[in-house]
Amino acid sequence: MEGSDALTRILVGMPAARVVAVAPGSPASEAGIAAGDEILTVNGEQLRDVIAYQLHTDGADVDLEVRRGGLEQQLIVHKAPGTPLGLELAHAVFDRVQTCDNHCPFCFIHQLPKGMRRSLYLQDDDFRLSFLYGNFTTLTRFTESDFERVVTEKLSPLYVSIHATDPDVRTLLLRNRRGATSLRWLELLLDADVEVHGQVVVCPGINDGPVLDDTLLGVLDRFPHLATLGVVPLGVSAHSHEPDMRAHSSDEARAVVHTVSAWQARYLETLGRRLVFASDEYYLLAGQPFPPLDEYDNCPQHENGIGMARTFAAEVAAALAGADVVATGTRSGFFAAVDGAPADGYRAPRNPTPESPPPGDPLRPVGIVTGELGAHVLAPFVAALGDRAGVDVRLVPVANRFFGGNIAVTGLLTGVDVAAELARQPAGHRYLLPDVVLSHGTFLDGQTLAALPYPVEVVRTDGAALVRAATRIAS
Ligand code: SF4
CA 70, CA 270: separation in Å to the nearest integer? 61
How far, in Å, from the CA of 225 to the mean position of ligand 1? Answer: 25
Out of 107, 112, 142, mutate this one to test ligand 1's pocket (max ligand atoms within 8 Å of CB): namely 107
**What is the CA angle 86-133-179, rounded to 5?**
145
* pLDDT at site 333: 41
Which atom in ligand 1 lies closest to the alpha carbon of residue 103? 5
CA 231, CA 310: separation in Å to the nearest integer? 17
Tell me: cis bond preceding 157? Omega within 30 of 0 counts: yes
Q: Pick from 408, 228, 389: which is nearest to 303 by CA?
A: 228
Ligand 1 environment, Cβ below 6 A:
100, 102-104, 107, 109, 123, 125, 138
Out of 98, 102, 176, mutate this one to test ligand 1's pocket (max ligand atoms within 8 Å of CB): namely 102
List C-alpha distances in Å: 426 to 57, 337, 365, 369, 405.
54, 43, 10, 13, 28
List C-alpha distances in Å: 475 to 45, 336, 354, 393.
44, 22, 9, 20
CA 308, CA 319: separation in Å to the nearest integer? 16
Which atom in ligand 1 lies closest to the alpha carbon of residue 109? 8
In this structure, which residue's CA is closest to atom 8 in ligand 1?
A: 107
Out of 98, 123, 173, mutate this one to test ligand 1's pocket (max ligand atoms within 8 Å of CB): namely 123
In this structure, which residue's CA is closest to atom 7 in ligand 1?
A: 107
* pLDDT at site 46: 93
* pLDDT at site 170: 98
How far, in Å, from the CA of 102 to the mean position of ligand 1? Answer: 6
In this structure, which residue's CA is closest to atom 3 in ligand 1?
A: 123
**pTM, two decimal places:** 0.89
* pLDDT at site 328: 64
Which atom in ligand 1 lies closest to the alpha carbon of residue 201? 7
Phi, psi of 431 (to 5 degrees): -120, 125
How far, in Å, from the CA of 63 to the mean position of ligand 1? Answer: 39
How far, in Å, from the CA of 218 to the mean position of ligand 1? Answer: 22
How far, in Å, from the CA of 197 to the mean position of ligand 1? Answer: 17
CA 326, CA 343: separation in Å to the nearest integer? 23
**What is the CA angle 304-308-310, rounded to 5?**
150
Q: What is the 3-state secondary structure (H, E, C) of the chain?
A: CCHHHHHHHHHCCCCCEEEEEECCCCHHHHCCCCCCCEEEEECCECCCEHHHHHHHCCCCCEEEEEEECCEEEEEEECCCCCCCCCEEECCCECCCCCECCCCCCCCCHHHCCCCCCHHHHCCECCHHHHHHHCCCECCCCCCHHHHHHHHHCCCCCEEEECCCCCHHHHHHHHCCHHHHCCHHHHHHHHHCCCCEEEEEEECCCCCCHHHHHHHHHHHHHHCCCCCEEEEEECCCCCCCCCCCCCCCCHHHHHHHHHHHHHHHHHHHHHHCCCCEEECHHHHHHHCCCCCCHHHCCCCCCHHHCCCHHHHHHHHHHHHHCCCCCCCCCCCCCHHHHCCCCCCCHHHCCCCCCCCCCCCCCCCCCEEEEEEHHHHHHHHHHHHHHHHHHCCCEEEEEECCCCCCCCCCCHHHCCHHHHHHHHHCCCCCCEEEEEHHHCECCECCCCCEHHHCCCCCEEECCCHHHHHHHHCCCCC
In this structure, which residue's CA is closest to atom 6 in ligand 1?
A: 104
Q: Pick from 191, 323, 200: which is nearest to 263 by CA?
A: 200
Which atom in ligand 1 lies closest to the alpha carbon of residue 100? 4
CA 466, CA 398: separation in Å to the nearest integer? 18
Q: Is 349 left (phi over 0), alpha (psi -120 to 50) or beta?
A: beta
How far, in Å, from the CA of 233 to the mean position of ligand 1? Answer: 15
Out of 99, 100, 170, 173, mutate this one to test ligand 1's pocket (max ligand atoms within 8 Å of CB): namely 100
* pLDDT at site 431: 95
β partners of residue 458: 433
List C-alpha distances in Å: 381 to 294, 421, 458.
20, 21, 19
* pLDDT at site 31: 94
How far, in Å, from the CA of 92 to the mean position of ligand 1? Answer: 20
How far, in Å, from the CA of 54 to the mean position of ligand 1? Answer: 28
How far, in Å, from the CA of 374 to the mean position of ligand 1? Answer: 26
How far, in Å, from the CA of 80 to the mean position of ligand 1? Answer: 42
* pLDDT at site 358: 61
CA 305, CA 232: separation in Å to the nearest integer? 8
CA 16, CA 240: separation in Å to the nearest integer? 37
CA 203, CA 104: separation in Å to the nearest integer? 11
Which atom in ligand 1 lies closest to the alpha carbon of residue 140? 1
* pLDDT at site 363: 81
- For the chain, the first-to-last Cα distance in angstroms comes to 52
CA 396, CA 369: separation in Å to the nearest integer? 5
Which atom in ligand 1 lies closest to the alpha carbon of residue 123? 3
CA 378, CA 384: separation in Å to the nearest integer? 11
Out of 104, 106, 111, mutate this one to test ligand 1's pocket (max ligand atoms within 8 Å of CB): namely 104
Class of residue 431 by CB neighbours under 10 A (exposed 0-12, middle 13-18, buried 19+): buried
- 78-92 CB burial, b ≥16 within 10 A, e <16: ebeeebbbbbbbbbb
How far, in Å, from the CA of 10 to the mean position of ligand 1? Answer: 31
- Amino acid at the residue 360: G
Residues of the chain with pLDDT below 70 are 1-14, 325-360, 473-475
How far, in Å, from the CA of 106 to the mean position of ligand 1? Answer: 8
How far, in Å, from the CA of 215 to the mean position of ligand 1? Answer: 19
How far, in Å, from the CA of 123 to the mean position of ligand 1? Answer: 6
Out of 108, 136, 138, mutate this one to test ligand 1's pocket (max ligand atoms within 8 Å of CB): namely 138
